[in-house]
């Protein structure tokens, strides 16, 4: 005969809602709080609007993760916000209290009240089971947004932990050529032993450095060509009283606007054609590197004297 428990499921998403349903179907008395209304009526499952009876619970289950990082309970299905400290005030040390990915702040709040939170996400079997839908979700997103099939495509997986390993296996099963980028050489060896291409993240960082350096050189070259043809114009501006700094800033502003327009059009085209997508960090680095290269070229051109500029023109 099963021993019926009084269980409270506090906060969380659809996973906690399903958990509450399964526990009720297993014969336990289950109360939910900050979890919204259940999608279907289940005997023994009650949605509560307050924690008045929570002190009678044998077990209290907090969500994965427990908080949203600002002292609030992680409760996306609730219509209101729920600070964590008042919730912990309603609990007692005799209860079994558990949550997922418990941070230090939450541990300290519980310790001040004589409570101990057991982190269920520290159990390996749960972490692996949770990684499966994450990996499958990555495959689903790729199928929905790529204009090509997964079969025959090239896939780079960053990291080779639980989620990375399962994701790489699923893409490879669909016929993709999968490479894995990792920080640890032990993970790199495992990836290669499992038939994946392997790259150390340091090599990718070097590729980014080469990419941004190329952008800077390109900006310097283009700006130098444009500035060279405008030397007479710069000479006139100097004779009209403008300083080298004023001319340099105007030239740099022109190059910055040109680069901004190019990056914006390229990013927009890549987005709508679903070919490549640049995030804000990459776009900002392209702008900075191009402008830096342009600054070097413009300063080298403008620093020449007026007579030197006119003599070169002759």
Instruction: Provide the number of structural domains found in the chain.
Output: 3
The CATH number of the domain holding residue 148 is 3.40.50.720
Closest CA to 12 of 59, 54, 68: 68
**Would the pLDDT of 296 be above 60?**
yes
Against a cut of 0.75, is the pTM above it? no
User: Which residue range is the domain that position 134 belongs to?
Assistant: 130-195
Q: Which residues in the chain belong to E strands, given as ranges? A: 6-10, 29-33, 45-48, 59-64, 96-100, 117-119, 154-158, 177-182, 197-200
Q: The tokens 């413009």 sit on which residue?
A: 298
Question: What does the chain come to in residues?
Answer: 314
Identify whether 1 is part of a domain: no
Query: Residues 253, 171: one domain?
Result: no
Per-residue confidence (pLDDT) for residue 1, from 0 to 100: 37
pLDDT > 70 fraction of the chain, expressed in percent and rounded: 83
User: Residues 145-203: pLDDT tens digits?
Assistant: 888 999 999 998 988 989 999 999 999 999 999 999 888 888 889 999 999 998 877 66
- Tell me which of 150, 169, 195 is where a domain ends: 195
Q: How far apart are CA 152 and CA 142, in angstroms?
A: 13
Burial 132-142 (b: 16+ CB within 10 A, else e): eeebeebbeeb
Q: Are residues 10 and 113 in the same domain?
A: yes
Interatomic CA distance for residues 50 and 9, integer angstroms: 12
Question: Is 211 in the same domain as 274?
Answer: yes
pLDDT over threshold 50, residue 276: no
Which residue, of 98, 122, 146, is where some domain finishes? 122
DSSP three-state, residue 164? helix
98 domain residue, yes or no: yes
* 215 and 293 both lie in a single domain: yes
Has residue 60 been placed in a domain? Answer: yes
Residues contacting 36, CB < 8 A, separation 6+: 17, 47, 77, 78, 79
């Amino acid at each position: 005969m099963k021993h019926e428990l009084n269980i409270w499921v506090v906060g969380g998403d659809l996973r906690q809602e399903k958990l509450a349903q399964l526990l009720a179907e297993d014969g336990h008395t289950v109360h939910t709080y900050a979890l919204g209304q259940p999608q279907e009526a289940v005997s023994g499952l009650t949605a509560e609007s307050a924690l008045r009876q929570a002190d009678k619970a044998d077990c209290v289950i907090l969500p994965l993760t427990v908080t949203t990082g600002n002292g609030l309970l992680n409760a996306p299905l609730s219509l209101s916000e729920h600070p964590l400290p008042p919730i912990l005030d309603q609990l007692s040390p005799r209860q079994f209290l558990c949550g997922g990915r418990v941070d230090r702040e939450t541990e300290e709040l519980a310790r001040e009240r004589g409570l101990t939170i057991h982190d269920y996400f520290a159990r390996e079997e749960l972490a692996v089971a949770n990684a499966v839908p994450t990996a499958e979700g990555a495959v689903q997103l790729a199928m929905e947004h790529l204009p090509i099939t997964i079969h025959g495509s090239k896939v780079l997986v960053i990291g080779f932990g639980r989620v990375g390993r399962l994701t790489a296996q699923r893409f490879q099963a669909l016929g993709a050529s999968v490479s894995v980028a990792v920080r640890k050489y032990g993970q790199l060896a495992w990836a290669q032993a499992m038939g994946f291409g392997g790259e150390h993240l340091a090599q990718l960082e070097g590729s980014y450095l080469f990419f941004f350096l190329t952008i800077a050189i390109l900006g310097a070259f283009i700006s130098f060509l444009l500035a060279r043809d405008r030397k007479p114009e710069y000479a006139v501006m100097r004779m009209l009283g403008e300083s080298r700094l004023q001319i340099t800033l105007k030239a740099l502003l022109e190059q910055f606007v040109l680069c901004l327009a190019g990056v914006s059009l390229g990013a927009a085209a890549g987005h709508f054609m679903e070919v490549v997508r640049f995030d804000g960090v990459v776009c900002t680095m392209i702008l900075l590197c191009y402008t830096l290269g342009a600054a070097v070229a413009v300063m080298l051109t403008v620093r020449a004297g007026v007579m030197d500029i006119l003599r070169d023109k002759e």
